[in-house]
Amino acid sequence: MLPKEVKQLNKMPVEDTSNDDVLTNLILFYKGIAEEYCNKTFVVPYPFGVRKFIAESIKYGTNGNISSRTMGTVSYTFVTDLPQSTYKHLKPLRRLRW
């Protein structure tokens, strides 16, 4: 999976290549999470569910990880877990471990 695909799925500008190195590392990171969750190894080309999971995880990680913010003494609370809705794309690919 290429950074261009992630940008297309997340409706980001494809022409901007300044973050491609970061996106490449995040793709490998979330691919590892998908492989761990599904108990199988994915090879290129990834199934669409894995590609969608990676794209949504990257989008969530860059936009939605602040759960609360206080302005009095400036306090931020971050969410470190992915929402369960991102894992719905991996459910058909999941294999049981015996």
The residue written with tokens 């206080």 in the block is 70
Predicted model pTM: 0.79
Amino acid in the structure at residue 46: Y
CA–CA gap between residue 58 and residue 26 (Å, rounded): 7
Mean pLDDT of 31-50: 92
- Per-residue confidence (pLDDT) for residue 53, from 0 to 100: 93
* pLDDT tens string 62-91: 665 666 777 777 777 777 677 888 889 999
Ranges of each domain in the chain: 3-93
Cα first-last separation, the chain: 30
Asked whether the beta carbons of 50 and 93 are under 8 A apart, the reply is: yes
Phi-psi group of 74: left, alpha or beta (phi > 0 → left; psi -120 to 50 → alpha; rest → beta): left
Strands (E), 4-74: 66-70
